[in-house]
Amino acid sequence: MNANRPTPHPLLIGLIFAILAVLWFATLNHNALVRPDEGRYAEIPREMLVSGDWVTPRLNGLKYFEKPALQYWATASAYALFGQHEWTARLWSALTGFLGILMVYFTGSRLYGSRAGLISALVLSSSFLYFAIGHINILDMGVTFFMNLSLSALLLAQISTTRTAQRNWMLLCWLAMGLSMLSKGLIGIAIPGAVLIFYSILARDLQIWKRLHIGAGLLVFAIVTLPWFVLVSRANPEFLWFFFVHEHFLRYLTPVSGRVHPWFSFFPIVILGILPWFLPMLHALWRGWDKETTLNFSASHSASFSANRLLLIWTGFIFIFFSVSHSKLVPYILPIFPAMALLMGERLNQISGKILSWQLAAALPFALALFALAPLATRSASNEVPYTLFAHFVPWIQAGALLWGAGTVIAVMLARQERTLSAITVMALFSLLMGQAVYLGYNTVSPASSAQLIAQQIKPWLKPGVPFYSVAMYEQTLPPYLQRTMTMVAHPDEMAFGIQQEPNKWIPTVAEFERIWAQQPYALAVMSPKEYDLLHQHGLAMRVIARDTRRVVVTTPSRGAQQ
């Protein structure tokens, strides 16, 4: 580490993390839950808590085995402790995201010194994709944290100076891999295992296999993972095939999920997602392989170990692994961000203010482009998402762009004065403010992207035990806001497997729904405007009680008055 750069005072580090925490958590309850993911991952824990069945996940009352249960348990626990709110639905993502930032700081401090660790944490917290996923109720931040924890524990085990410390870190690594598997499945152990194999070959470090404590580690891994998998399999014999074969191998090797995208899809995602740190990322990746860590590792345990090379292989393998998959979604690439942040922290800690200034200045064209192109968001308008909603979103995007641009200018000026840590801190904090502006502004689209508003109109019409049908559609955010399930009609959506297991819980055709509807003394139904028009043309008796651009909610007419 550069001896001319002093270690930041602990009070300064504490102040920076306090500001990061405020900027990270302050807005969790502002936005409405967004379809489809936030609705799905808010509803499954709600049903788990209400039913008392913490073994078998259910979505809209139907068995749902696409993912393991760890995040469902965490969110259901948050509901039980604090009530069901937007912030408790998002708490697991936000909390694991922030813990990941702290873990990167701790690991970077041990590897490269506290200054580099702080820089790594600032980089990670302000990377646009990491920030975004940390504020959405989705599974990817949880698995990213536990994979980050397993990577960090592995790194720290290799540089430990005592056998006891090395064993403890490796047991934590195995524990984290178990929790990764409970977060999203086999990638929790498959990716770290593959990375270790490639590292030992490419870095010519076979000694690392002697430091893994495989026997004790596998025992820890089994203790963490086996109980739920055994319990859910005993309760649901169909689970094993669907979860392991369909959800892992078939989705990865075949286009069964319908998420096929070009092999290069993750290149633009990483470029935009790492902003404002695009050039520092390239610099760190380019110089990382031949740059050894600056600590003097224990000769008895880790003389040949290269942390930087392991971080590079982690980054490269995950990128390639998901690039060749037949199922690609934006958040899949998130687990490479902590590793890249560590590499960037080590590199940014070394470079001069002059080099840093032009690396940071590269973010300015992106900020200007964001401001200039923001009005183009209105081109995404449709009958379901009207022009006016996007028009209200545009000023928020432009405000974020102005904050980003101002922060970039200030950071560049500080870097030219060789105040590099101040420059990086300013860049990170203003980038977080930019992210928050865009995040808060997106709520202007919530009348179309969420059922929050229409749910408030429906609640006065609900009665205990009244049938509620979802006709030829499924609005993911409606059940958590209504705090009840619906009967699916002629649209299995992603619950096709659950319907196969319990076919009595749905109505397969609209014609059968019409027959049942006509016999109900009082019932509700939600459908698209197009479906409503078709049923109206068929002469089905309905009374509209709520309507927006995506949904029409009706009751049976003879009992349609509010009680």
- Quote the pLDDT of residue 290: 67
> Mean per-residue pLDDT for 178-183?
97
Answer for the pair 88, 79: CB distance below 8 angstroms, yes or no: yes
Residue 258: pLDDT band (50, 70, 90) is: low
Please report, for residues 150, 295, 373, the alpha-carbon distance to residue 164 in angstroms, rounded to integers and kept in the order given.
Answer: 18, 19, 56
List the one residue out of 428, 477, 547 whose CA is nearest residue 40.
477
The answer, yes or no, to whether residue 472 has pLDDT greater than 90, is: yes
Q: Is the pLDDT of residue 92 over 90?
A: yes
Burial-class residue 85 by CB neighbours within 10 Å (0-12, 13-18, 19+).
middle
**CA–CA distances in Å: residue 34 to residues 27, 218, 325, 541:** 15, 39, 26, 31
Instruction: State yes or no: pLDDT of 326 exceeds 50.
Output: yes
- Rounded Cα gap, residues 355 and 505, in angstroms: 63
Helix, strand, coil percent content, the chain, rounded in steps of 5: 70, 5, 25
Cis peptide before 276 (omega within 30 of 0): yes
Q: Lowest mean pLDDT of 11-20, 36-45, 258-267, 463-472, name the range.
A: 258-267
CA nearest neighbour of 461 among 380, 542, 357, 367 = 542
Q: What is the pLDDT of residue 459?
A: 94
Please give the Cα distance from 380 to 391 (Å, whole number).
10
- pLDDT band (50, 70, 90) for residue 319: very high
In tens, the pLDDT along 487-515 reads: 999 999 889 999 999 999 999 999 999 99
Q: Is the pLDDT of residue 300 over 80?
A: no
Contact 297, 303 (CB under 8 A): yes
Give the 3-state secondary structure of 186-251.
CHHHHHHHHHHHHHHHHCCCCHHHHHCCHHHHHHHHHHHHHHHHHHHHHHCCCHHHHHHHHHHHHH
Give the residue-averaged pLDDT of 186-191: 91
**pLDDT for 5:** 76
DSSP state of 505: G
How big is the CA angle at 192 (ends 188 and 193), to the nearest 5 degrees? 110
pLDDT of residue 248: 75
Q: At what angle do helices 307-323 and 336-348 cross, to 10 degrees?
A: 140
- Mean pLDDT of the chain, nearest integer: 92
Q: Among all chains, which residue has been given the structure tokens 């009530």?
A: 83
pLDDT at 194 over 90: yes
In percent, how much of the chain has pLDDT > 90?
Answer: 83
Q: Give the integer Cα–Cα distance in Å for 331 and 353.
A: 33
Q: What HEC string does 447-493 produce?
A: HHHCCHHHHHHHHHHCCCCCCEEEECCCCCCHHHHHCCCCEEECCCH
Q: Indicate whether 213 pLDDT > 60.
A: yes
Query: Where residue 27 falls among pLDDT bands split at 50, 70, 90?
Result: very high
More confident residue, 250 or 216: 216
In this prediction, residues 168-176 reach a mean pLDDT of 97
Higher pLDDT, 25 or 290: 25
